[in-house]
Structure 1
Amino acid sequence: MNNNDMNTLTSELLELLVQIHNKLLNPSEMIKGSILPPSHIKVIFYLSHKKSMSVSQMAKCLDISKPNMTPIIDKLINDGYVHRYQDPNDRRKINVELTEKAHSFLKEKKIEIKNNLMAKLSYLDEEDLLNLSFIIKNMHKIILKLE
Structure 2
Amino acid sequence: MKTQNYELLTEYMLKLMPTMNKRFFRDDEVFKSEELFPSHIQILLVLANHKQLTMSQISRQINVINSNLTPLVDKLIKFGYLKRQPYKKDRRVVHISLTTSGKTFVEKHKKYVESLLEEKLSTLPDAKIVALEAHLVAVYDTIIECLGEK
Q: Structure 1-normalised TM-score?
A: 0.79
1:50 counterpart letter in structure 2: H
With over 3 angstroms needed to count, the CA separation of the structure-2 counterparts of 1:88 and 1:31, relative to structure 1, is same
Give 1:39 shift. 3.9
Which one is further off, 106-115 or 84-93? 84-93
With over 3 angstroms needed to count, the CA separation of the structure-2 counterparts of 1:87 and 1:140, relative to structure 1, is same
User: Any stretches of 5+ residues in structure 2 without a counterpart?
Assistant: none
Q: CA RMSD, aligned part only?
A: 2.5
Q: Deviations over 1:30-72 (max 9, x none)?
A: 1012243444333222222233122244345434454443333
The residue aligned with 2:122 is 122
Is 1:46–2:46 an aligned residue pair? yes
Is 1:93–2:96 an aligned residue pair? no
Distance 2:37 2:129 in 1: 34
Distance 2:64 2:134 in 1: 37
| Bigger radius of gyration among the two | 1
Which one is further off, 40-49 or 2-11? 40-49
Distance 1:109 1:22 in 2: 17
Distance 1:44 1:124 in 2: 31
Q: Structure 2-normalised TM-score?
A: 0.78
1:100 counterpart letter in structure 2: T
2:36 counterpart letter in structure 1: L
List aligned pairs for 1:64-83, cutoff 5 A: 64-83=64-83
Distance 2:58 2:144 in 1: 23
CA contact (8 A) 2:46 2:61 kept: no
Secondary structure, counterpart of 1:96 in structure 2: strand
Identity of paired residues, percent?
27
Which one is further off, 71-80 or 129-138? 129-138
User: Any stretches of 5+ residues in structure 1 without a counterpart?
Assistant: none
With over 3 angstroms needed to count, the CA separation of the structure-2 counterparts of 1:38 and 1:127, relative to structure 1, is closer
2:33 counterpart letter in structure 1: G
With over 3 angstroms needed to count, the CA separation of the structure-2 counterparts of 1:94 and 1:13, relative to structure 1, is same
